[in-house]
Amino acid sequence: MIKPYLSELVSDALSATLPEEFKVSIEVPKQAGHGDFATNCSFQLAKHLRKAPPQIAEGLVEEINEKLSAKGITASSLGGFINLKLSSEFIWSRLASQFDDGVTFPEHSEKVLMEYVCANPTGPLHIGHGRWAVIGDVLRRLLLKVGRDVSTENYINDAGNQIKLFRASVEASKKGEAIPEGGYHGAYINELADVEDPVQAMIDSHKKVLGRMDVQFDDWFSELSLHKSGAVDAMLDLLGEKGLSYESEGALWFRSTDYGDDKDRVLKKADGAYTYFAVDIAYHSSKINRGYTRLVDIWGADHHGYINRVKAAVKALSDSSLDVIIGQLVTLFRDGEQVRMSKRTGEIITLEEVLDEIGADALRFFMIQKSADTHLEFDLQLATQQNSENPVYYVQYAHARMCRILEKAEGPGGTLSVDDLSLEDYERSLSLSLLQLYDEIYESANQMQSHRIATYSVSLAKLFHGFYHHCPILKSEGDVQAKRLQLLRWTQLGIKDCLGLLGITAPESM
RNA sequence: GCGCCCGUAGCUCAGCUGGAUAGAGCAACGGACUUCUAAUCCGUAGGUCAGUGGUUCGAAUCUACUCGGGCGCACCA
């Protein structure tokens, strides 16, 4: 990673002046003209040194240049900011190190368990599930990439009232009777008439669709198994022993208010049945017992009211942390008009239909492109168009282009004499962006913002296309060709990495 | 009524722990194909970052309130 590397170098160079433990933070200036990288440390130091930032910056710049200019880093100050400019040789050697030696990420001892999709097997998956699935799957890939110990589960709600109603609805449909009050409607209910176990059939269909999208889980965890194994009773006993539950109005309550919830919640209803919440505590308790120290749940926005009580339960039971990522809902459009969906009447567009229409690559890209907490407006017609309006092709095309050039380039292109390494504008900006690849990956993983990798991919592809047009490769010769070929190889690796993290294919020709 | 998310260009959205002159794609307009694949590139135009205060050397970003949109407020799952 380039930012921690620069931070280390600059902090060391300034160690005589800086307070102990002070790490210079490195950022990328918005205006490329200012520098390749920058630090605002003179502002942070102003109080401590009792001097004005521009004055501090001047002194620091002098020190940096004295110690680091030989390495290829030159500093300058502007309005208190310290801007860093990297020499071509420096950039090149960092790229070589990054791609040839590989990158090591800081270690974390936590064991992570992610839970996502989590759909009732009472109907087909919809586009919202597709979004949680992709957000979760890309995050999983990101965490693995930076070396985290991570497992993933899809929790199947295969128990409870909804399942009963669902079975009853299928049964009624089979006999030609009226669907029970609050039951399930739609053509798919009729189609399940011949199936031996409609619940299993739905689970199978979920597996099939998610499989086609290349969304992977280490386990599909059955809610029913928690009932059967007695895990729910055991958990209720444990809560009782710890004094975390009490009886009132004929029901058993959890003291969630002691852990930050607005009100206490029912665990066991007056009729003796468990609430969904009680079973979910048992599930989270199972995760904790299996040794996971960091839990991540991804839910749809319609469940956000549920966050506090589950957090309360996890807090009451363990030291493990729980992060909940809320995916905002997806509004489908077709031809610019909103597609209204009604679960009651069974009028829905299923995830599978969308997948059939636009394919896994485009679907994944559209679902991951926007931040999880932005409402997503998704136009089916737009995604169907296999043209320039469709950003996934932009990135894939960049990859295909590079593959074709590499294919045509004869041999490895010889070794590059770094003595006379100069980078033209297009080469330089591509190189600088590529240098930040692993910073982007690390930050995206750390902050659990999987959409950032999509944004980065597009910008890297853009820089490549510009480079491609202005810097001929096969038509150039000697050192210039060797340099461009090398840059191309690294860029291809970078784009391929990104596409891999996004779970999108990296075609070698288009 | 209470809580969560959102409000940035005509449209869809980026904007990383608060930083310098606010970014991309699409749409609009003008250019570039005897080429390494034009699924591309280059350029022009487009803004009161919903609004008003506050914190700060500095706010699209933090904070309070107002307005607007979405979603929740069960002994449902």
Check residue A478 and give its pLDDT.
86
Residue A258 lies in a domain: no
Please tell me the distance from the alpha carbon of residue A119 to that of residue A333, in angstroms, as a whole number. 23
Which nucleotide has the least CA–C1' distance to A301?
Answer: B71
Give CA–CA dist A245/A316, Å, rounded. 11
Instruction: Please identify, among A69, A86, A103, the residue that sits at the C-terminal boundary of a domain.
Output: A86
pLDDT for position A186: 85
Position A337 scores a pLDDT of 78
Query: Which CATH number belongs to the domain containing residue A71 in this structure?
Result: 3.30.1360.70
Q: Å between A384 CA and B39 C1'?
A: 14
Both A405 and A372 in one domain: the answer is no
One domain for residues A221 and A343: yes
Residues A25 and A53 in one domain: yes
Q: What is the CATH number of the domain that holds A133?
A: 3.40.50.620
Q: Within a domain: residue A397? A: yes
Q: In this structure, are A215 and A336 located in the same domain? A: yes
Span CA (A253) to C1' (B57), Å? 53
List chain A residues with pLDDT less than 70.
341-347, 385-389, 410-420
Claim to verify: residue A197 and residue A342 sit in the same structural domain? yes
Buried b (16+ CB within 10 A) or exposed e, A190-219: eebeeeeebbebbbebbeebbeebebebee
A283 three-state secondary structure: helix
Residue A105 inside a domain? The answer is no
Say if residue A461 is in the same domain as residue A377: no
Q: Is A456 helix (H, G, I), strand (E, B) or coil?
A: helix
- CB A354 within 8 Å of CB A363: yes
In this structure, the answer to whether residues A372 and A402 fall within a common structural domain is: no
A37: tokens are 């990288």
Same domain, residue pair A424 and A360:
no
Q: What is the pLDDT of residues A303-330, one digit of tens each?
A: 999 999 999 999 999 999 999 999 999 9
**Whole domain around residue A377: which residue ranges?**
117-227+328-384
Q: Does residue A34 belong to any structural domain of this protein? A: yes
What's the CA A122/C1' B58 distance, rounded, in angstroms? 54
Domain contains A379 = yes
**Does residue A312 lie in a domain region?**
no
Its ipTM equals: 0.95
Residue pLDDT, tens place only, A7-43: 999 999 999 989 888 899 999 998 888 999 999 999 9
Domain annotation covers residue A28: yes
Q: Please report, rounded to whole angstroms, the spatial distance between the CA atom of protein residue A40 and the C1' atom of nucleotide B19.
A: 7
Residue A25 shares a structural domain with residue A151: no
Predicted pLDDT of residue A343: 58
Domain stops at, among A367, A384, A401: A384
Predicted pLDDT at A333: 86
Q: A443: which nucleotide lies closest, measuring CA to C1'?
A: B16
Protein-covered nucleotides on strand B (Cβ within 7 A): 3-7, 12-17, 19-27, 35-37, 39-42, 57-58, 69-77
Residue A508 lies in a domain: no
CATH code of A410's domain: 1.10.730.10
Q: Are A323 and A295 in contact (CB under 8 A)?
A: yes
A348 and A432 inside one domain: no
Distance A472 CA to B6 C1' (A): 45
Judge if A133 and A43 occupy the same domain: no
Burial tier of A104 (Cβ tally within 10 Å: 0-12, 13-18, 19+) = exposed
Q: Identify the domain boundary among A68, A86, A104.
A: A86
pLDDT at res. A334: 82
Same domain flag for A417 and A372: no
Count of domains in chain A?
3
**Phi, psi of A221, rounded to the nearest 5 degrees:** -95, 120
